[in-house]
Structure 1
Amino acid sequence: MPLRVGYVREHFSSPLLQFSEADGGKTFTLVECPSGTGQLISRLTKDEIDIAIALTDPLISGIANGSKSYKLVGSYVSTPLNWAVTTGTNSKYNSISDLKGSTIGISRNGSGSQTMAYVMALQQGWPTEDLRFQINNDIRGLLNSVNDGSTSAFMWEWFTTKPFIDAGEGRFIGSVPTPWPSWLIAAHPERASAEATSTFLEGLTKFVSDFDSEESRATKNIPFIVEKFGYPKEDIEAWLKTVKYPKSCLEIPTKVILETLSVLEKAGVVKQPEGGFDLEMFVNKGIAQLT
């Protein structure tokens, strides 16, 4: 039975898509989750996927807040994610500071779009308990909400949002990069066997290493992303300058978990238990190596 791998169909997923094309569905199948990490976590919980390639902060906060549906098994992107802050084309908001006390659009509870709103509030010095949210499912719902005035702004990855901005469907008013590497890999502790998951991660590492190489960056990466996503060449070139992938998808830096938890705790997203967090609860050490 092939592993069911949940992912978000964005430019970050290019090495995964290349791996999937080479595998041909023999060892894994891809399950697209357009609403992002909140949907990925939901599908892990509901037995709709076995593995999720998802954003660092919601994965870690989910485990910290008690989820037993998955553990971390690897790393996917080792650089921060740049979250664009987007408002409506004709809205009254012109900067991040204008958003204080307003309603922020998010895709789902527990999503990266919600977690990063807390991080933004922390940076701005706003009380995180004052944040108000409206769930709008996906980027289309989020764009509709800022343009009909039901929300002030939403947060989504910069280059994924840019085509909508270029088409006049919204305005950028700022950005908030994550204080942590952006993507990790999680797996259900029982449905995804250690052997099958390790084999998948070893295969993914080969495609990630190839995509991350200087040769691929100079030759095949740009035409692949143009073909799959239709982004302008200059946007892809700009993104490639900002992104790095891990040397091994089977390794997780300990500091990523600790530093992410530290920021999430300050933002009020997680609460440290007495005696502190136990790293064993976050990582499946039968698969991943903590470095």
Structure 2
Amino acid sequence: MPLRVGYVKEHFSSPLLQFASKDGGQTFTLFECPSGTGQLISRLTNDEIDIAIALTDPLISGIAKGSQVYKLVGSFVSTPLNWAVITGIKSKFQDISELKGTTLGISRHGSGSQTMAYVMALQQGWPTGDLKFQVNNDIRGLIDSVNDNSTSAFMWEWFTTKPFVDAGEVRFIGSVPTPWPSWLIAAHPERTSPEAVTAFLTRLSTFVRAFDSEESRVQKNVDFIKENFGYPAEDIEAWLKTVSYPQDCSAIPTKVLTDTLSVLEKAGFVVAPKDGFKVDDFVDSKVVKLT
């Protein structure tokens, strides 16, 4: 039975889409999760997918908060994600510093849009216990909320949001890059066999390496993303200068886990147990290579 792989249909997922096109559903099928990592985790929980390619911080924080429905099995993107801070086209807010004490829009509780709000608060020196949120499900709901003033701002990946800025629907008032590599891979530890997950990651790695090559970056990647996502070539070229992928998708640097947990703990989003976090609790040791 093919693996059920959940993903977010964004430019980051291009190597996965190329892999899926070649595989033709023989070993895995894709399940799009437009609301992001919160939806991916929910689908893992509800036995709707077996593997999720999702944002680093919500995946790690979910396990830190006690989730047993998935373990980390690999890496997908090795560079940070640039989160734009976005407000309404006619809103009064002009700078991140003005957002203190306001209600921020998020897609779901436990999503990247929420965890990064804590990181932003940490950077700004705000009390994280005072943060207020409104759940708006997806980017359309988030855009509507900043324009009807039910929220002050929301956070979403920069290049994904730029077309809405270019169209005059919202405004950028800043950005907060993640202090960690942006995408990891998780799998349900009991619904999937280590052999099937390893085989998936091994083949995914070949497509990731091909996409990440200097040769592909010159034109092939630009053409693929333009065709599949409709972004202008200059935006694609600018994004490609900021992103890199791992050589081996089944490997996770231990530092990614420890550094992410450290920041999330300082931000007040997770609370460490008395004896501290143990890296082995976060990974499926039958699959992943900790480096």
Coarse TM-score class (shorter-chain normalised): over 0.9
Superposition pairs for residues 98-247 of structure 1, below 5 Å?
98-247=98-247
Structure 1 alignment gaps of length 5 or more? none
1:42 aligns to 2:37 (yes or no): no
- TM normalised by structure 1 equals 1.00
Q: Name the CA distance, whole Å, in 2 between partners of 1:84 and 1:18.
A: 27
Q: Name the CA distance, whole Å, in 1 between partners of 2:20 and 2:118.
A: 35
Structure 1 runs (4+) greater than 4 angstroms displaced: none
Amino acid in the other structure paired with 1:249: C
- Identify the residue that residue 272 of structure 1 maps to in structure 2: 272
Amino acid in the other structure paired with 2:174: G
Matched-pair identity in %: 76
- Identify the residue that residue 68 of structure 1 maps to in structure 2: 68
Amino acid in the other structure paired with 2:41: I
Q: Deviations over 1:33-66 (max 9, x none)?
A: 0000000000000000000000000000000000
**Deviation (angstroms), 1:136:** 0.1
Structure 2 alignment gaps of length 5 or more? none
CA RMSD of aligned residues (A): 0.4
Q: Deviations over 1:221-265 (max 9, x none)?
A: 000000000000000000000000001001000000000000000
- Identify the residue that residue 262 of structure 1 maps to in structure 2: 262
- TM normalised by structure 2 equals 1.00
Q: Deviations over 1:130-168 (max 9, x none)?
A: 100000000000000000000000000000000011000
- Identify the residue that residue 15 of structure 1 maps to in structure 2: 15
**Deviation (angstroms), 1:192:** 1.4
Task: Give the 3-state SS of the residue equivalent to 2:245 in structure 1.
Answer: coil
Task: Give the 3-state SS of the residue equivalent to 1:126 in structure 2.
Answer: coil
Task: Give the 3-state SS of the residue equivalent to 1:175 in structure 2.
Answer: strand
Task: Give the 3-state SS of the residue equivalent to 1:284 in structure 2.
Answer: coil
Aligned residues: 291
Q: Name the CA distance, whole Å, in 2 between partners of 1:48 and 1:36.
A: 15
Q: Name the CA distance, whole Å, in 2 between partners of 1:191 and 1:207.
A: 25
**Deviation (angstroms), 1:219:** 2.3
Q: Name the CA distance, whole Å, in 2 between partners of 1:266 and 1:230.
A: 39
Q: Deviations over 1:158-206 (max 9, x none)?
A: 0000001100000000000000000000000011110110000001000
- Identify the residue that residue 251 of structure 1 maps to in structure 2: 251
Amino acid in the other structure paired with 2:199: T
Q: Name the CA distance, whole Å, in 1 between partners of 2:279 and 2:116.
A: 23
Task: Give the 3-state SS of the residue equivalent to 2:156 in structure 1.
Answer: strand
**Deviation (angstroms), 1:8:** 0.2
